[in-house]
Structure 1
Amino acid sequence: MSTETTNKDILRGGQFLVKETKCEDVFTLEDLNEEQKMMRESTKEFVDRELWAHWERFEKKDYAYTEECMKKAGDLGLLSVAVPEAYGGMGMGFVSTMLVCDYISGATGSFSTAFGAHTGIGTLPITLYGTEEQKQKYVPRLATGEWFGAYCLTEPGAGSDANSGKTKAVLSDDGKYYSITGQKMWISNAGFCNLFIVFARIEDDKNITGFIVENDPENGISLGDEEKKLGIHSSSTRQVFFSETKVPVENMLSERGNGFKIAMNALNVGRIKLAAACLEAQRRVINEATKYANERIQFKTPIINFGAIKAKIADMATNAYVDEAACYRAAKNIEDRIAIREASGNSHQEAELKGVEEYAIECSILKVAVSEHVQHTTDEGIQIFGGMGFSADTPMESAWRDARISRIYEGTNEINRMLSVGMLVKKAMKGHVDLLGPATAVGEELMGIPSFETPDYSELLSEEKDLLGRLKKVFLMVAGSAVQKFGPDLEKHQMLLMAASDILIQVYMAESAILRTEKNAKRFGEEAQATQIAMTKLYLYRAVDIIQQKAKEGIVSFAEGDEQRMMLMGIKRFTKYTNQPNVVKLRTQIADKVAADNGYTFD
């Protein structure tokens, strides 16, 4: 474990809400080492050469080309970054795995889905839960791209309720194998995979069990036709049917009944990786939209000079910058937590499992925020292109269609919103995050007389940091009162949970931006970070608007009379600016920088 890791104050998952994070303790893209920078460049070169230059092929359902590109990625070692060296991989840290997932995913959602399904949920369950024999047998093949993996969880009647699957596994009379029978759907990579991670129920077990199943058509495995989809056209997505498929008992993954746990932990990793996979997609859309706006002449001037276009470019760039800040902050937290656990004696498997699980709240937050930002960015990309954006001859419309799936898989955004708050409350009940103390303090503050002194905001982003602290109080006020009122029944109040989660999401994303900008302004100078400062202020301004709306929506749903009036006054008190930012000026500053650079250059 590095000295850097031991010297940092690493918060536990969810503690960002109640504890202050120093900017020096967060990781940003500007902290990449030389090896990581080289990896980023080689990944971008592969994408430009093999994927971006041929994006039309992916729109024509060229599944064979997707498979071909996956093999090429395997030859370059890009499929093995997260695989331990003992099993033929590079054994690199979590940040490096995020980095490759980020930059390999920008050209087409078809390849991004194939890559994510293989390296994540197709391979990780074996590296994290497999026996030594299973890992030695399967992982090296998956790491090189000799074999490809797929993940069979979803069924016609089991989607978000993953543990309700009907697929059965029956032990043979001689106890040597299980016969698996059932139907799985929406299986990415099904058309060319060699191996399935399959979840089935043994007898009447409460929980499902995981199995490693080799793809052999002569063993009772058949496939449906390729699904006709809105986007990700060249991602092979098919139903998989198992009819008394024989699976050796030694191919059970982990223990009997442990499948639901495997599935949930695989989804935690998948959620933060999905967020990473939406970053480069945003950058490339911004780049294409900016180039077009610089070149498109209307009314004798490039359309980039119009305020309506500048507002779009500024918001798109701001979202991308903030998303980078939050994704790499969380990735390094996970990497550091893994290192701490390994240093304390955990195996790599256990350390990685617990390291990711620790930040499951942040993983859900990122999945929601970044997937919605990439959808907004691609939509605005079409708008900037105008009629050309609606044409299949430009990559804007395909980017928009590909982005749409990101709000659905790895758990819908609705599920993840409720999960983020639910997991936070559970952590509080276990004593891992002290919500009760700070929530009580906020209640007492509401009853007291507010200070009318004008704070000293002379330091960079000092007002923004003060405001952020008060936005955290808004969440504590709403969530604390809701927990007190509903107790264990809070999970039944989904619309309230959704409102609370939006506050939580905005707090984490805004804080990540502030910390990234503050850290870089200290080491590179405020002048060099002028646009980043503007983006940080713009995002916080927008976050305040969202938090005001969602807090009010939540409060009026459960509070009445004096309690309601006091809490509504609390919203005004906690979200009040001393120096209201000039949003038009901020957006103009950001857009002018992006226009001058002819694209996004903040990574």
Structure 2
Amino acid sequence: MARKWVQGGAFVMEQVDILQMVTPEDFTEEQLLIAQTTRDFIEKEVLPVDAQLEALDYPLTVSLLKKAGDTGLLSADIPESYGGLELDKVTSTLISEELARGSSLALSIGAHVGIGTLPIVFFGNEEQKAKYLPLLATGEKIAAYCLTEPSSGSDALSAKTTAALSEDGAHYVLNGSKLYITNAGFADLFIVYAKIDGKHFSAFIVEKGMPGFSMGPEEKKMGIKGSSTRPLYFEDVRIPAGQLLGEKGKGHVIAFNILNMGRFKLAAGCLGAAKESIELSADYAITRKQFGKALADFPLIQQKLAQMNTLAYVLESMVYRTSGAIDQRFREQPPVDGMETAQAIAEYAIECSINKVFATEALQSICDEGVQIHGGYGYIQEYKIERIYRDARINRIFEGTNEINRLLIPGMLLKKAMKGELSLFESMRQLEKELMNPMTSPQSASLLDQLNVLLDQSKRLLLYIGGLAVQTYGEQLEEQQEVLAGFADLMIDLYAMESCLARTSKRYRQSGEEAALLAVQMTQLFMEQTFEKQPIIARKLLTTMSDGDERRMHLSILKKLTKFQPGHHVGLGREIAKRVIEQKGYSV
């Protein structure tokens, strides 16, 4: 059967179909209604008790989780047959975005519905699903995910927690510990990873209160203070054999694919926090007076607001492009079991990691500028931008550090190419042939056409650098972390540029020039600023991989591949900021 979905990683070689790509402008009335329901829940139920939540009030957190369950906010990804709503991934993403305004409670909910519940949704057997999913959907039971250990963070497979099958085969005996477990203080179910007989990495469903299962005190954290984070200890904990999740020795399949979804949902949460940061900053800039006029009247403040809004627009384009692609994959070829589900999720593992890295770093930049706009007030806890700033820092560590994800992004691309799933190497060879001929600069009439040329140059640059890296290092490339990280940055830039350009082009085609004006301005600003930094990354990589006459040749080709004429960025920034100030927040 011919493939009908967008192939994961194919954006490196292929052009996106703008009509096929999902954008926020495509949201249905039902999706928008669910988003509004989520926002109403946060505003009416969560924000009035924010101070108590930050003080780590377990009973209050649990009661709000149950209210969220009653509202349907915990069951978006749970099948209807087990009491869930079974919503599409775009709608589920909208919920994650809107929950972000709930600060630490958003993390508690996110850990529950994402990495806590999805392992059972995707990999549980019928008995496990029937027993647990209806309770997780309502919030009667709260879930936690237990992977990290004192000696294993990013290197999850080196876990030392063990499980041994009893002589009668009725139980697994669990011994070991877990660290930094979100929701630990009030969770009822724990997805715990351990090695059976010390070597078969596997997953288990562990219930609270089992003899030998204990936990340490709450960690004193920099941010996300309203979420529970505690270590867990297992001393001869006897788990019924039926609590093994998935297959023996296949825990890595569950862990890595659930982390993919976790990375993606984290990006959606960062988007929500980014939009709130812009709203807070715009409001403050409008009301705060200095030297006889509002901060919003100062060009340097306007440039900050413009950059913040532009980053959020690009992130929003990436997040919903990715969720739409996952939806299409599941819709066109619905998985029938856990392994097929794993394969469907893994299809977009590259995009999930790209979203995670871009989102966490974009939010850090946005909320940092938000604090700067607030001045001294931004450093005071009374102003929420201070909270967002502290809470955002963990995101670059969550769900695999950004360094690990930067290694995964090109690594996964090359693996797909070596399996024949992507025509990456063919594209690299074709580019090599093209570069032997004189290069011409195409003449483009419209601005969007010019930006498409810029995008094409970015793809060619990426393929050129990638081809040289493969030729230079071969199978040893995985050891060249600096090269892989630089290549990952070019891939992240490419996905971000293409996502915002495709969204803007689609809006321009469907709604006209006037309606798309702000989107065009932000797309131009982001793409040109991003393209300006790519030669710096590429030059560093080329000088690492070559020297002498060969280096001079590569640098000469680099100069031709990255030639372009930038626009008036100061003017663009002022125009974008004008709309942000008019709207008193995020504007598209």
1:498 pairs, out of 485, 492, 501, with 485
Give the Cα separation in 2 of the matches to 1:355 and 1:305.
Answer: 49
Residues 341 and 351 in structure 1, CA contact (< 8 A), matched pair in contact too: no
Which residue does the alignment assign to 1:457?
Answer: 444
Could you say if the C-alpha distance between residues 112 and 212 of structure 1 is closer, same or farther in structure 2, counting changes exceeding 3 Å?
A: same
Q: Output the amino acid matched with 2:202.
A: T
Which of 80, 84, 89 is the equivalent residue of 1:89?
Answer: 84
Given candidates 69, 75, 82, the residue that maps to 2:64 is 69
Matched, 1:134 2:128: yes
**Residue 97 of structure 2 aligns with which residue?**
102
Return the alpha-carbon distance in structure 1 between the equivalents of residues 4 and 553 of structure 2: 36
Q: 1:199, CA displacement in angstroms?
A: 0.7
**How do 1:349-368 and structure 2 match up within 5 A?**
349=338, 351-368=340-357
SS at match of 1:209: strand
1:563-589 CA distance string (max 9 Å, x none): 222222222222221x42110011111
The one of 212, 215, 223 aligned to 2:208:
215
Query: Does the residue aligned with 1:404 lie in a helix, a strand or coil?
Result: helix
Name which of 459, 463, 470 aligns with 1:483: 470
Q: Which moved more, 1:349-358 or 1:76-85?
A: 349-358
2:567 aligned partner, one-letter code: P
Q: Which stretch shifts more, 68-77 or 414-423?
A: 68-77
User: Which residue of 2 is the match for residue 269 of structure 1?
Assistant: 261
Q: Does 1:407 align with 2:396?
A: yes
- The code of the aligned residue for 1:29 comes to P
Identify which of 545, 568, 573 aligns with 2:555: 568
Q: Is it true that 1:599 corresponds to 2:585 in the alignment?
A: yes
Query: What is residue 228 of structure 2 aligned with on the other side?
Result: 236
The residue aligned with 1:529 is 516
* Deviation by residue 1:104-127 (Cα, 9 ceiling, x = unmatched): 11331x112211111011111111
Tell me, in whole angstroms, the C-alpha distance in 2 between the residues paired with 1:565 and 1:70. Answer: 61
1:527 aligned counterpart, secondary structure: coil
SS at match of 1:235: coil
Q: In the TM superposition, what whole-angstrom CA distance separates every residue of 1:240-279 from its partner, at most 9, and x where no partner exists?
A: 1011111011111111101111100110111111101111
Residue 43 of structure 2 corresponds to residue 48 of structure 1: yes
- Partner residue in 1 for 2:542: 555
Partner of 1:510: 497
Which residue in 2 is equivalent to 1:580?
566
Percent identity over the alignment?
41
> Which string of whole-angstrom CA distances, capped at 9 and with x for unpartnered residues, describes residues 433-470 of structure 1?
11112212222333322225xx3322351010111011
Distance in 1, Cα, partners of 2:52 & 2:579: 34
The alignment status of 1:185 with 2:172, answered yes or no, reads no
1:155 CA drift (Å):
0.4
Matches of 2:47 and 2:294 in 1, distance apart?
Answer: 26
Q: Secondary structure at the match of 2:101?
A: coil
- The reply on whether 1:589 has 2:575 as its aligned counterpart is yes
Shift of 1:8: 10
Query: Secondary structure of 1:166's match?
Result: coil
What's the TM-score, normalizing by structure 2?
Answer: 0.97
1:219-251 per-residue CA deviation (whole Å, 9 max, x = no partner) reads 111110000000000110000101111101111
Report 1:431-450 matches (<5 A).
431-450=420-439
SS at match of 1:133: helix
For residue 284 of structure 1, the aligned residue among 269, 276, 280 is 276
Q: Which residue of 2 aligns with 1:21?
A: 16
Secondary structure at 1:278 match in 2: helix
1:512-531 Cα offsets, whole Å, 9 max, x none, are 00000110111111111111
Partner Cα separation in structure 2 for residue 514 and residue 69 of structure 1? 40
Q: 1:351: Cα distance to partner?
A: 5.0
* 2:414 equivalent in structure 1: 425
5+ unaligned residues in a row in structure 1: which ranges?
1-5
Change (3 A) 1:244 1:489: same
* Cα deviation, residue 348, structure 1: 6.4
Ranges in structure 2 where 5+ consecutive residues have no aligned partner: none
8 Å Cα contact 2:8/2:348 also seen in 1: yes
Contact kept in structure 2, 1:106 and 1:279, CA below 8 Å:
no
Question: What code does the residue aligned with 1:176 have?
Answer: A
Aligned counterparts of 1:332 and 1:555: Cα–Cα separation in 2: 36
SS in 2 for 1:241: strand
Q: Is the 8 A contact 1:446 1:566 kept in 2?
A: no
Is contact 1:335-1:355 (8 Å) kept? no
CA distance in 2: counterparts of 1:299 and 1:227, whole angstroms: 44
Give the corresponding residue for 1:3: none
SS at match of 1:199: strand
2:409–2:488 CA contact under 8 A, matched in 1: yes
CA separation in 1, counterparts of 2:118 and 2:561? 43
Contact 2:123 2:337 in 1 (8 A): no
Partners of 1:51 and 1:488 in 2: CA distance: 52
Secondary structure class of the residue paired with 2:585? coil
CA distance change for structure 1 residues 53 and 462 in 2, over 3 Å: closer, same or farther?
farther
Residues 171-191 of structure 1 deviation map (CA, whole Å, 9 limit, x = unaligned): 112110011011100000000
- 8 and 183 in structure 1: CA distance in 2 versus 1, 3 angstrom threshold: closer
Pairing partner for 2:149 from 149, 155, 174? 155
Structure 2 residue aligned with 1:325: 317
* 1:104 partner SS: helix
After TM superposition, give the deviation of residue 94 of structure 1 in Å: 1.3
| 1:22 match: secondary structure | coil
Paired with 2:528 and 2:272, the residues of 1 have a C-alpha distance of 25
How much has 1:350 moved relative to structure 2?
A: 5.0
Superposition RMSD in Å: 1.6
